[in-house]
A = this chain, B = another copy of it.
Amino acid sequence: MARVKTNEARFLGRYDPRKYPPMAVTVDVALVSAESGRLHTLLVERREAPFRGQWALPGGFVRPDESLEATAKRVLRDEAGVHGVFLEQLYTFGAPHRDPRMRVVTVGYYALVDAARLARHVGGRTRMAQLVVPWAGETGGPVELVGDAGEAVVPAFDHADILGVVVKRMRGKLDYSPIGFQLLPDTFTLRDLQEAHETVLGSVLNKDSFRRRMLASGLLEATGERQEDVGHRPAELYRFVKKSAV
């Protein structure tokens, strides 16, 4: 055992990492929200080549002593100004020439926030773009991005593909995982929640069964408060509660 350790120590001392092909690892984060039937994401203007002047997902190189998730959190904080949101690893993209500078493998993450919070952090070098999904269900493929005026926004790198995987993942998880709540503020009505689900899925849902399914899930807690100034009967406001283990 000591022998092995000694051998390993000697090996590590002689080890030269530079003989391996240079490769960079980045993390790109798709920050997504849903509002009035539309999915949005936050983009950052690139100030340097490649793709200078184009819009890209918030992202950055992984630092030597930083975990992948820590990189994602840092990027979200520094480039998008948000923290404490739902964040999950998505997929890793490593096509040889996806970055013209050098070989860059990027680990894609996606994060979910409510629309108001996303809008609060737009400005300067960042903007929002709407996701238009040109495929149904979980077919998959890149998404199209359009700006406020309906103009096409062509993202840098393979970020349209990354966003496509985000939508596919969200559609897949929505049924069995409480990610819909992540797109809403702290309190929300059942209709808000249903709209968020419909926006992600790109299809309409049955009102009654959706209500019952959500209430039966045990993930919702009535706040006792109601909407105000809504021009019709005000809906109950609910809060998301983590399902407690039995």
Contact A63 B8 (CB under 8 A): no
A123 on the interface (CB 8 Å rule)? yes
Question: Which of A49, A67, A124 has the most chain B CB within a 10 Å cutoff?
Answer: A49
- Chain A residues 33 to 66 lying within 8 A of chain B, measured CB to CB, are 44, 47-50, 52-53, 60-66
Contact B12 A47 (CB under 8 A): yes
Given contacts A4-B124, A24-B23, A124-B5, contact A67 B48 (CB under 8 A): no
Contact A20 B124 (CB under 8 A): no
Q: What is the bound-complex CA distance between A92 and B88, given in angstroms?
A: 12
Contacts of A60 in B (CB 8 A): 11, 15
A100 on the interface (CB 8 Å rule)? yes
Q: What is the bound-complex CA distance between A126 and B96, given in angstroms?
A: 30
Contact B21 A79 (CB under 8 A): no
* A172: min CB distance to chain B, Å: 9
Q: What is the bound-complex CA distance between A228 and B107, given in angstroms?
A: 50
Contacts of A92 in B (CB 8 A): 68, 89, 92, 107
From B47, B48, B64, A20 is in contact (CB under 8 Å) with B64
Given contacts A102-B15, A123-B1, contact A67 B49 (CB under 8 A): no
Given contacts A23-B24, A105-B25, A105-B68, contact A78 B7 (CB under 8 A): yes
* Complex: chain B residue closest to A139, CB-CB: B245
Contact B103 A105 (CB under 8 A): no
Contacts of A7 in B (CB 8 A): 49, 52, 78-79, 81
Total number of A residues with any Cβ neighbor in B under 8 Å: 53
A125 on the interface (CB 8 Å rule)? yes
Contact string, A1-36, partner B, CB cutoff 8 A, digits 1/0? 100110110111001011011111100000000000
* A239: min CB distance to chain B, Å: 25
Q: What is the bound-complex CA distance between A25 and B26, given in angstroms?
A: 11
* A214: min CB distance to chain B, Å: 21
A147 on the interface (CB 8 Å rule)? no
Contacts of A22 in B (CB 8 A): 17-18, 20, 22-23
Add 11 more A-B contacts to A4-B124, A11-B49, A12-B48 (CB < 8 A): A4-B121, A11-B79, A12-B47, A12-B100, A17-B102, A20-B22, A21-B63, A22-B23, A64-B103, A66-B96, A68-B105
